[in-house]
Chain A
Amino acid sequence: MKKIQIINNQNKIYSEVTTNATYANECHEFSIRMVIDGHEQYKLGNKKLSICPGNFLVINEGTVFGREIYSEIPVNTISILYGPQFLNSFHQSVTAPHSFLLDEPFFVPENSAPVFLETLYPLKGDMRYNLLHLQEIISNDTNDDMLIDQYLLHSLINFYRIYNKEILTKSDELKALSYKTRTELFKRLNIAKDYIISNYNQALTLTEICQHACLSQTHFCRTFKQTFHCSPYQYLIQVRLDQAKHMLKNTHYEVNEIVSMIGIDNVSSFIRFFKGRYGKTPGGYRAVIAA
């Protein structure tokens, strides 16, 4: 099932529930992309990314990409495409000085489209709440453009906050370096982070991740920790536990089935990790959710 909703101001919402779909050479406006359940694979140039619950991807206007869904269970995806005028106007409103906005309230400079790092961002907090509400509104076949616009505007507000926290603040953690070096290093660290998230259910090795990011092991481990405040291994475990938590909450898979799906070797290690992180055993967590 596929649905495209075009709002008056040229913002669009694509939603789809499918087990099998392939789209090649797509090129759109700036977009925010998420899945409610399952995984969706993206290919941006040489980069392969997998969106899973708990993450979202942004793609800039004009980027050519392909995407693919191949799953035993239906994958529920939502993409918001922001019209260039809406995005540029919003960007101007949050970046220009107040005095300028008062003097020139309707001026939007040409070629002012913001360019964001095309990476996986954590879908949590207000962004998650607002997008889930939007999904509910769409699934109820609401055609009230102004109501939908509320969610699109707030999703953009939420994204700018996340961008500030995840990109601008974290790249500043590498402050000892020059701007050019810092930008390149941060880009490579994000390639590694995306690789971990996209392949969390595989038996990943540090060598493989470092090769993917084009960084030496010692350099990678030191700067990864400096930026993300945990080791690559701890980051991988956290991604796996997050996915396990999602499955415990939203599916009926047994604990041992979940363990085999998230790339952890044995159930006892998983229970130990889970309890250490969330203070409850997986069974205990599921019981609390069900209560």
Chain B
Amino acid sequence: MQHPKPYTLIGYLKLKDMTEELTYAEICVKEPRATLKFLTQYLGFVNISNLHNAEEPGKPGFLLRDKSGRSYFIPLRVDGDDYNPTIILNTDDCLRDYYLLNKAGIQFDGIPGYTNDGLKAVAVDDNGTRYTLLEYRDYTDDL
């Protein structure tokens, strides 16, 4: 089954800022190559520029783009405490994506669970980086 809608990455924004439209975000992780592999191999992100940062020349990393045209930069080196503890990916159907990614071999930390913001499932890559698949649900609008 093909994934019907592209993922977008919310990065490290807090949930309350979710409505903000991102065109560029920096994702700081301990293992950039593992994150690159995870996002491109399983989630359909495209690596458009290896070891290059157009915004800050001289800072090496990977420039990714999602299918909606947003760009994300994964720097190779990050200072001490600036890692994103969890990368949040939004989805329009968490159960479907949990199932499809699980089937593709992705490890999850437990089964999808309900939160005040919607349904979420936490995927973990080989290096322990956590990716929260979040299906935001508006519980105030029921019909």
A245 CB within 8 Å of chain B: yes
B126 CB within 8 Å of chain A: no
Q: Roughly how many angstroms separate A100 CA and B126 CA in the complex, as a whole number? A: 35
Within 8 A of A (CB), among B109-143: 112, 114, 119, 135, 137, 139, 142-143
A47 CB within 8 Å of chain B: no
The bracket for how many chain A residues form the interface is: 20 to 34
Q: By the criterion CB–CB under 8 Å, are B96 and A54 in contact?
A: no
Q: Roughly how many angstroms separate A143 CA and B127 CA in the complex, as a whole number? A: 34
Within 8 A of B (CB), among A111-157: 122-126, 128-130, 133, 136-137, 142, 144, 146-147, 150-151, 154
Q: Contacts A133-B93, A142-B1, A147-B1; is A128 near B99 (CB within 8 Å)? A: no
Q: Roughly how many angstroms separate A122 CA and B95 CA in the complex, as a whole number? A: 22
Q: Contacts A137-B96, A147-B99, A242-B143; is A126 near B137 (CB within 8 Å)? A: yes
Q: By the criterion CB–CB under 8 Å, are B95 and A151 in contact?
A: yes
Q: Contacts A54-B142, A128-B142; is A144 near B95 (CB within 8 Å)? A: no
Of all chain B residues, the one with the shortest Cβ separation from A143 is: B1
Q: By the criterion CB–CB under 8 Å, are A133 and B95 in contact?
A: yes
Most chain A C-beta atoms within 10 Å of own C-beta, residue among B95, B99, B103, B139: B95
Q: By the criterion CB–CB under 8 Å, are A133 and B143 in contact?
A: no
SS class, residues of chain A in contact with chain B: helix
Which residues from chain A contact B119 at a C-beta distance below 8 Å?
Answer: 126, 129
Q: Roughly how many angstroms separate A4 CA and B37 CA in the complex, as a whole number? A: 41
- In the complex, the number of residue pairs spanning A and B with C-beta atoms less than 8 Å apart equals 43
Q: By the criterion CB–CB under 8 Å, are A125 and B142 in contact?
A: yes
Q: Roughly how many angstroms separate A144 CA and B95 CA in the complex, as a whole number? A: 13
Which residues from chain B contact A128 at a C-beta distance below 8 Å?
Answer: 142
Residues of B in contact (CB 8 Å), total 16
B45 CB within 8 Å of chain A: no
| Contact among B99, B135, B142, B143 with A150 in the assembled complex (CB-CB below 8 Å) | B99
- How far does the Cβ of B139 sit from chain A's closest Cβ, in whole Å? 5
| Contact among B1, B135, B139 with A125 in the assembled complex (CB-CB below 8 Å) | B139
Which residues from chain A contact B99 at a C-beta distance below 8 Å?
Answer: 146-147, 150
A249 CB within 8 Å of chain B: yes
A53 CB within 8 Å of chain B: yes
A229-268 interface mask toward B, CB cutoff 8 Å, 1 = contact, 0 = none?
A: 0000000000000100110010000000000000000000
- How far does the Cβ of B143 sit from chain A's closest Cβ, in whole Å? 4
- How far does the Cβ of B93 sit from chain A's closest Cβ, in whole Å? 5
- How far does the Cβ of A26 sit from chain B's closest Cβ, in whole Å? 28
B77-89 interface mask toward A, CB cutoff 8 Å, 1 = contact, 0 = none?
A: 0000000000000
Which residues from chain A contact B142 at a C-beta distance below 8 Å?
Answer: 54, 122-125, 128, 242
B72 CB within 8 Å of chain A: no
Within 8 A of A (CB), among B27-71: none
Of all chain B residues, the one with the shortest Cβ separation from A154 is: B95
B98 CB within 8 Å of chain A: yes
Q: Roughly how many angstroms separate A242 CA and B143 CA in the complex, as a whole number? A: 7
Q: By the criterion CB–CB under 8 Å, are A150 and B95 in contact?
A: yes
Which residues from chain A contact B114 at a C-beta distance below 8 Å?
Answer: 126
Of all chain A residues, the one with the shortest Cβ separation from B93 is: A133
Which residues from chain A contact B93 at a C-beta distance below 8 Å?
Answer: 133, 136
| Contact among A126, A136, A144, A245 with B143 in the assembled complex (CB-CB below 8 Å) | A245
Q: Roughly how many angstroms separate A22 CA and B47 CA in the complex, as a whole number? A: 56
Q: By the criterion CB–CB under 8 Å, are B137 and A129 in contact?
A: yes
Q: By the criterion CB–CB under 8 Å, are B139 and A150 in contact?
A: no
- How far does the Cβ of A274 sit from chain B's closest Cβ, in whole Å? 13
Please, could you name 27 A-B residue pairs with CB atoms under 8 Å apart, sorted by A? A53-B143, A54-B142, A123-B142, A124-B142, A125-B137, A125-B139, A125-B142, A128-B142, A129-B137, A130-B95, A133-B95, A133-B96, A136-B93, A137-B96, A146-B99, A147-B1, A147-B100, A150-B95, A150-B96, A150-B98, A150-B99, A151-B95, A154-B95, A154-B112, A242-B143, A245-B143, A246-B143
